[in-house]
Amino acid sequence: MRTASRSILLPIFFFVFCFTAYCNEQRRIYIVYLGEHKGLKSPQEILKGHHSLLFSVKNSEEEASGAILYSYKHSINGFAALLTEEEATKLSQMEEVVSAFPSEGRSSPHTTRSWKFITQEEGSKGSEKNLIGSKAKCGKNVIVGMLDSGIWPESQSFSDRGIRHFPKRWKGICQEGDAFNSSHCNNKIIGARYYVKSYEYYYGPLNKTYAYRSPRDNDGHGTHTASTVAGRAVRNVSALGGFAWGTATGGAPLARLAIYKVCWPIPGPNPNIENTCFDADMLAAFDDAIADGVHVISMSIGTTGEPPEYSKDSMAIGALHAAKRDIVVVCSAGNDGPGPATVTNLAPWMITVGASSVDRAFDSLVLLGNGVTIKGQTVTPYVLNSSHFYPLVYARDAVHPGIPSNISGQCLPNSLDGDKVRGKVVLCLRGSGLRVAKGLEVKRAGGAAIILGNAVASGNEIPVDAHVLPGTAVSSDDAIAILKYIDATRRPSAKVGSARTVLGVTPAPVMAAFSSRGPNRVEPSILKPDITAPGLNILAAWSESSSPTKLEDDHRSVKYDLYSGTSMSCPHVSAVAALLKSLHPDWSSAAIRSAMMTTATVENARGEALTDTSGRVAGPMDYGSGHIRPAHASDPGLVYDASYEDYLLFACSSIGAQMDPSFRCPETPPSPSDLNYPSIAVSHLNGSVTVRRTVTNVGRGPAKYRVTATEPTGVSVHILPQKLRFKRSGQRRRFSVTLKVRGRRDTPSGDYVAGSYTWSDGTHVVRSPIVVSLA
DSSP state at residue 168? T
**Taking the mean position of all CA atoms in its chain, how far away is CA 261?**
16
**Taking the mean position of all CA atoms in its chain, how far away is CA 640?**
24
Give bridge partners of residue 17 from the DSSP assignment. none
Spell out the alpha helix ranges (H) of 663-715. none
Query: SS3 for 368?
Result: strand
Peptide linkage before 338 cis (omega within 30 of 0)? yes
- Specify whether the CB–CB gap between 215 and 261 falls below 8 A: yes
Distance between CA atoms of 685 and 755, rounded to whole angstroms? Answer: 15
CA proximity to 541, closest of 559, 514, 524, 527 = 559
Given 50, 110, 184, 221, the catalytic residue: 221
- Specify whether the CB–CB gap between 662 and 678 falls below 8 A: no
- Specify whether the CB–CB gap between 228 and 572 falls below 8 A: yes
Q: What is the DSSP string of 509-569?
A: S-B-TTS-----SS-TTS-S--EEEE-SSEEEE--TTS-SS--TT-----SEEEE-SHHHH
Given 567, 673, 768, 773, the catalytic residue: 567
**Who's near 586: CB < 8 A, 6+ residues apart?**
none
| 728 CB neighbour count, 10 Å cutoff | 11
Query: SS3 for 691?
Result: strand
Distance between CA atoms of 692 and 84, rounded to whole angstroms? Answer: 45
Give bridge partners of residue 180 from the DSSP assignment. 177
- Specify whether the CB–CB gap between 30 and 86 falls below 8 A: no
**Who's near 125: CB < 8 A, 6+ residues apart?**
none
* Single-letter residue type at 8: I
Q: In angstroms, what CA-CA distances link 739 with 287, 690, 755?
A: 41, 6, 11
Torsion of CA 157, 463, 549, 304, to 10 degrees: 90
Cα end-to-end span (Å), the chain: 76
Given 99, 148, 149, 467, the catalytic residue: 148
Spell out the alpha helix ranges (H) of 554-642. 566-583, 589-598, 620-623, 630-633
148 is catalytic: yes
Strands ordered across the beta sheet of 28-36 = 68-72, 76-83, 28-36, 99-102
DSSP state at residue 669? P
Torsion of CA 377, 379, 384, 387, to 10 degrees: 60
Distance between CA atoms of 157 and 749, rounded to whole angstroms? Answer: 51
**Who's near 9: CB < 8 A, 6+ residues apart?**
none
Query: SS3 for 746?
Result: coil
Q: What is the DSSP string of 100-160?
A: EEE--EEEE----SHHHHHHHHTT--S-GGGTHHHHTGGGTT-EEEEEES-B-TTSGGG--
Which sequence positions are flagged as catalytic? 148, 221, 567
